[in-house]
Structure 1
């Protein structure tokens, strides 16, 4: 007697290659919920920050910054060829806006004492400035960290020429919990180093004929890389009223150094009149 058994027919499934399966999946549109779609950022688009932002005072700069201005809830690095020369030309409009709203700016370890008369044209008085004298790197780092943790300042501007990557990460963690804009001023060569700061800019002065321009490179931001430098008209506050533009195409009076005057510089017509008078 033959044993009885049931034979189960195998279902034949057509074979599909990996590339074909990927193509099939890519053809299906993925619809995300609106809340999720708003939180998704694509690397080829300029990121829109969810934090508070302040206009920088330069339309060209706001156009390339995520959120359209200086961000809160994070660090911003200003990388400069020489400390103490360009910071307030770039940040003056922001500091004036914060001072007008009753906020106070804390300066940690500036390389030179703050020049209060130079900030008055921006609307920043001495009552809105707090200068923290910190001579060593450890003191500046500690003071900056405590200010970011407190979160009670209108803005924090700290000069940290030498700081490790792990220290930057810790500062970024504290800055991410504070709505106030936080700026770290570091040397320009630090652009070659990695940093946890989500926004990094390199600023340098323009040439003689550039009408007090600042050239700004955005070396790191939430978005595609910026291929060109921004030319911002940023004269020192109050200086254009007493010192004209440095444009090379502006007419300039001719000057000569007269032997009679020694060290003095006199105009050409004045020197000619003296020589004419000596012949009579």
Structure 2
């Protein structure tokens, strides 16, 4: 019996990474412990989120799933800090099948320059998958963002295999209804918006680490909107106080009206008296 078979048939409670050979211990991960990613990570730019991500950031050479009830609800607020860091280092961002054209001036304000963003329009699920695979194989972009509303579990598994060969980041946006389906993605997040002022809420569905019962709340807004929000909530404005009436008030100012409908002739007469 080989050494590995002996370990398998021995008391499993005594099997820990410490007693395994070094080349096997690196591959063992226990569910109650935070796992480690063999490839580099990119800080998300959100301290609260980095604190719960394995190794403290978005994993490179791996597929990260972001589930949403509707596209366009917060994904750019979530990813812009990390993408800006990559662009500042000379990287580029590829969008595959984005449902809406992002507002490039706003991205540029966050540090994601328009000349570093590439968009590929596709038709149908097959084209989405093909374009995504080619982008991962090409190694010519730093981050791949792909919208895959119809991808099946076996197709996600295939993309995860290609992601292992891609040196940068890979995000797949999928509908929230697939949260209960199996997925080969090591990291799965459900992105929603909270109540006003609509912070980002991140529900960690899957990670290499213990489960999280509560969502991660990120009160992050683009810089321009953040400034407006802070200025509007810094100090509530009070309505101006009404000035007291002077001691002598013109009789026409106190004239009672029995109806809100005033004939034009009477209004003309009132205007003439005011000008006199």
Q: Say which of 45, 51, 75 aligns to 1:57.
A: 45
Give distance in 2, aligned partners of 1:28 and 1:92: 40
1:155 is the counterpart of 2:161? no
Partner SS, residue 169 of structure 1: helix
TM-score w.r.t. length of structure 1: 0.76
Q: Answer yes or no: is the 8 Å Cα contact 1:95–1:122 preserved in 2.
A: no
* Residues 1:99 and 2:87 are matched in the alignment: yes
Task: Give the corresponding residue for 2:271.
Answer: none
Q: Which moved more, 1:234-243 or 1:214-223?
A: 234-243
Alignment length (residue pairs): 240
Aligned to 2:213: 227
Q: Aligned-pair distance for 1:251?
A: 2.4
Conserved? CA contact 1:212–1:235, under 8 Å: no
Paired residue secondary structure (1:215) = strand
Decide which moves more: 121-130 or 33-42.
Answer: 33-42
Change (3 A) 1:279 1:135: farther
Q: Which residue of the partner structure matches residue 194 of structure 2?
A: 206
Q: Mind listing any 5+ residue stretches in structure 2 that lack a counterpart?
A: 1-8, 244-248, 255-276
Distance, in Å, in 2 between the alignment partners of 1:59 and 1:186 is: 25
Which residue of 1 is the match for residue 107 of structure 2? 119
Calculate the aligned-residue CA RMSD, in Å. 3.0
**1:7: which partner in 2?**
none
Partners in 1 of 2:185 and 2:36 — Cα distance?
16
Q: Which moved more, 1:30-39 or 1:107-116?
A: 30-39
Deviation of 1:141 (Å): 1.5
Cα shift at 1:151: 2.0
3-state DSSP of counterpart to 1:94 = helix
- Alpha-carbon separation, structure 2, partners of 1:29 and 1:74: 24
SS at match of 1:182: strand
Aligned pairs for 1:117-196 within 5 A: 117-196=105-184
Instruction: State the SS of the aligned residue for 1:73.
Output: coil
Normalising by the residue count of structure 2, what TM-score does the alignment of the two structures yield? 0.77
- Structure 1 position 128, deviation (Å): 0.7
Q: 1:29 to 1:69 in 2, by over 3 A?
A: closer
Q: CA deviation at 1:149?
A: 1.5
Distance 1:27-1:69 versus aligned 2 partners, 3 A rule: closer
1:228-268 CA deviation, whole Å, 9 max, x = no partner? 11111211342122344786x962556xxxxxxxxxxxx99
Distance in 2, Cα, partners of 1:46 & 1:138: 36
- Any idea what SS the aligned residue of 1:147 has? helix
